[in-house]
A = this chain, B = another copy of it.
């Protein structure tokens, strides 16, 4: 496993931000601990960060993380320990769980993620079986993985509002399926606990709600350690009633782009940043890096060609884009062997359990790295995010600690977002008592 070489300029303002984070460590940890008494922590989460040297910010928060297989295997024990805490919060009596993955049977990397997740949960003391939503799977199938192990997908049965697979009555259902195509009937009104809650899925979730929550968290955090909140927070705006095919709603998007660009320009001036500001326009729901583009002027929105319009109009599984998020672009100045790299941080319960770089050789520093057809190289972090050292300021684990802190701000935002968007009359499926 090569050591990720970080070519981020180590003398610019980012070092100052990192130093502030390292020096405020007990204050930060204490503040985060307090927050988890207010909010229900999501079961698991991954956060894409961008580090531009002058700014370190989350750009995407995934509540159904799909890359556990990319973590450094040396840190699986951290996952197991955190999983033990996570399980305690679902329902302390849980010891059998049905894991429902995405409907991929040929994406071997994704299935490796499911196998890793199953492995972590087994080591934390759970019986875990994998039930698929694919209607064509009518008997259990075993799929061989690259590491010599295999994974078994089983058909799900619903009876009396309880899901089961053959001879296995799970007391909880864990989704690793982001519900992009809506909430399947089989998952509705279950008596079992479902985690994450259904409203965390892309059927209803909106990125703009997440980043609105992040605004609040980032502002409070920035006040806590006395920094400009912009240093950890990308500006954003959202537009509804969009139809890219019919050029409907373009004015809102173009105006938002220009408004955000003008904010960035001022900030770049203030911090002496010489780069060109840019903005990312992406679907307000959905994942897999579809329906996403880089824009440097509002007028570009009116000039999209047919191919670009098609690309923006649909996301995963053909879902139509009707709301978009217009978000300040954050350069990624981290490179590994000249390739652009973006850190992805993984969390279970409230614990950072590892991360990896998404490294892409064919993309620029102002482009989204999680794109369809993208062949990213996952490069596991060599150290954990738990080993900051106040006495060694240029110490690489310090950068990772800062990454872990900003990722946890996004996790807090996700918790707040889920609390605010919860429309169920029953209680949340995870309990809210302090751990």
Contact = CB atoms under 8 A, between A and B. Distances in A.
Interface of A: 25-30, 32-34, 37, 74-78, 80-82, 84-85, 87-88, 92-93, 95-96, 122-127, 351, 384, 386-388, 390, 433-435
Contact of A78 (B28, B78, B388, B435): B78
A326 B283 CA distance: 72
B125 A434 contact: no
10 contacts: A26-B95, A26-B126, A29-B125, A29-B126, A30-B95, A33-B125, A77-B386, A81-B386, A85-B85, A433-B433
Contacts of A33: 84, 87-88, 92, 125
Given A75-B77, A92-B37, A433-B433, A28 B85 contact: no
Contacts of A390: 122
Contacts of A81: 78, 81-82, 351, 386
B386 A80 contact: yes
A34 B78 contact: no
A269 to B, nearest CB: 36
A384 B435 contact: no
Q: From DSSP, what is the main secondary structure of chain A's interface residues?
A: helix
Contacts of A384: 77
Nearest to A431: B434
A387 B76 contact: yes
A102 to B, nearest CB: 25
Contacts of A85: 85, 435
Nearest to A126: B26
Nearest to A74: B74
A81 B77 CA distance: 11
Given A33-B125, A81-B82, A435 B386 contact: no
A92 B34 contact: yes
A30 B74 CA distance: 25
Contacts of A78: 77-78, 81
A29 B388 CA distance: 31
Contact of A125 (B28, B88, B123, B124): B28
